[in-house]
Amino acid sequence: ASPPASGPGTNHAIDDPLTSERTRAWREDRFGMFIHFGVYSHLEGEYTRPDGTVCRDAEWIKRQCRIPQAEYERFAAEFNPAEFDAEAIARTAKEAGQRYIVITSKHHDGYALWPTKVNRWNLRDHSSFDKNRDILAELKAATERHGIKLGFYYSIWDWNDPDAVHPSTFGRYKERMYAQLKELVDNYQPSVFWFDGEWSTDRPSNPWLTQDGEALEAYVRTLDPKIVVNNRVGKRRLVDGDTGTPEQTIPAEPVSGQLWESCMTLNGSWGYAKWDNRWKSPADLTRNLISIAGRGGNYLLNVGPDARGRIPAESVDRLRAMGSWLVRNRQADAVHGAGTPGIVAEPDWGSVSRKGDTLYASVYRWPGAGGSLTLKALSGFDVRSARVLGSTQRVAVSRSGDTVTLTPSGAPTNDIATVIAIGVAPPA
């Protein structure tokens, strides 16, 4: 297929991501698992310098701690994630309610997690790992078994390939990168490409932000037009690629006309860092997911497996807590396949999402006895019913002007978020 006609400001000859069949499942998934894993995981966040001082970082450790190339290559040669268990990872994601996984096929250090034929800087050719194993193939098989989609993070910025920074050799780097992307599509049929590092400042005039980013997006579409591509392929238009990628934040007012996905760490690091104990609470994480769904976005929550390839227990525990909230009382209905309510504003006591004729009001702060909750209506609608999921208690509904008042008659069903399902109908 020839690349579609393009120019600055042109939205390639592709259909609108907001309504396209290509993004349909992604728009309903709402929750995915990000995995940062690579040579840096072998260091587990700590590098001891020759003078005995310790430098701490995570997936940026090579650069931030100025590890000499030869030494980083020695660490890679030792890397042996023998306990990487794709089945356990896919099961953890499934039980958490995550519907897709995006793993770092190559992070900024340029190391490929699959046996690329493009160079030897990869887990098969430069490690102590079993030469017969291919963890991306294992993950592909495991995700398929569990009905989860698999996508790849791929860093455009490459610290390992000197050709990437010099204009005279850049074309050679680009050829290798294109060849790697084709390998990934041919070998593993990913559902998502999650690019990163297009913002690199290594070159004063960064070609990825303009014509090369545009060509890259078009190239991926020729490899497989079904792949969902994130926006970090350039800054040519408001919406490059299919999806916006706010990082470590949940936009209060998402950019309109753009699909989006907040990516976030469970502690403070993407790659495994044994010193990082800044774990977020299960309540905050679950409420983040609920609020994101109510604002029409997805939540891509990161795990960083350790040197042996194991997801830390603290991460698994948090994901389990989120999954058990979702299955309890079918509260997942407030998240999976749900989106912005449109007809009511976001309340300060929680979040509201909508699926069809049902509004799901997830209450983070339940009112005291006899108290009530108010919703501000943005358009006319009738309330047909209101009930607390997992409870038989009555919820009285009254209306005055654009204020809808909900008065529950009993206690909340849990500490994280109690969901009131409100049946609505447009006025006749």
By beta-carbon proximity to ligand FHN, the closer residue of 232 and 355 is 232
Strand ranges (E), 107-256 = 149-155, 192-196, 228-229, 243-244
CB nearer to ligand FHN: pick between 60 and 219:
60
Binding mask 290-329 for ligand FHN (x = CB under 6 A): ----------------------------------------
Smallest distance, Å, CB 195 to ligand FHN? 10
Q: CB of 257: closest distance to ligand FHN in angstroms?
A: 22
Distance in Å, CB of 44 to ligand FHN, minimum: 16
- How distant, in Å, are the alpha carbons of 5, 175, 183, 215, 219 from that of 2? 9, 17, 19, 11, 9
Q: Mind giving me the DSSP string for 251-319?
A: -SSPPTT-EEEEEEESSS-SS--TT---PPPHHHHHHHHHHHHHTT-EEEEEE---TTSPPPHHHHHHH
For residue 360, the minimal CB distance to ligand FHN (Å) is 29
User: What is the spatial order of strands in the sheet that 358-363 belongs to?
Assistant: 350-355, 358-363, 418-425, 382-388
Question: Cβ distance 10 to 240 under 8 Å?
Answer: no
Residue 262 and residue 31 in contact, taking contact as beta carbons nearer than 8 Å: no
Q: Does 247 bind ligand FHN (CB under 6 A)?
A: yes
Q: Could you say which DSSP state residue 129 is in? A: S
Tell me whether residue 96 or residue 301 sits nearer to ligand FHN (CB atom): 301
> In angstroms, what is the minimal distance from the CB of 190 to ligand FHN?
17
Q: Give the residue with the Cβ less far from ligand FHN, 58 or 215.
A: 58
Rounded Cα distance, 124 and 115, in Å: 5
Beta-bridge mates of residue 103: 35, 152
Give me the least distance between CB of 248 and ligand FHN, in Å please.
8
- Binding characters for ligand FHN, 46-85, by CB under 6 A (x = yes): -------------xx-------------------------
Of residues 183-212, which lie at the interface with ligand FHN (CB under 6 A)?
196
Q: Which is nearer to ligand FHN, 195 or 325 (CB)?
A: 195
Helices (H), 79-169: 86-96, 135-145
What's the closest the beta carbon of residue 175 comes to ligand FHN, in angstroms? 24
Cα atoms in the 13 Å half-sphere on the side-chain side of 233: 24
129/270 with CB nearer ligand FHN: 270
Q: What is the dihedral of CA 137, 142, 148, 153, to 10 degrees?
A: -30
| Residue 169 or 248 with smaller CB distance to ligand FHN | 248
Closest by Cα among 323, 256, 322 to 286: 322
Tokens representing 187? 């070998």
**Closest CB to ligand FHN among 75 and 381?**
75
Which of these, 46, 134, 90, 139, lies nearest to 316 by C-alpha position?
A: 90
Taking the C-alpha atoms of residue 143 and residue 310, their distance in angstroms, rounded to an integer, is: 17
- Of 29 and 346, which has the nearer Cβ to ligand FHN? 29
Instruction: Give the nearer residue to ligand FHN in terms of CB position, either 61 or 96.
Output: 61
Nearest to 155 by CA among 216, 239, 101: 216
Using CB under 6 A, count the residues that bind ligand FHN.
6
- Structure-block tokens of residue 389: 């999921």
Q: Scan residues 258-277 and list those touching ligand FHN (CB under 6 A).
A: 263, 270
101-130 mask for ligand FHN (x: CB under 6 A)? ------------------------------
Least gap, CB of 68 to ligand FHN (angstroms):
20
- Estimate to the nearest angstrom the gap between the alpha carbon of 6 and the chain centroid: 28
Write each residue from 366 to 405 as x if it is in contact with ligand FHN (CB under 6 A), else as -, in one continuous string.
----------------------------------------
Question: Minimum CB separation from ligand FHN for residue 265, in Å?
Answer: 8
What residues line the site for ligand FHN (CB under 6 A)? Answer: 59-60, 196, 247, 263, 270
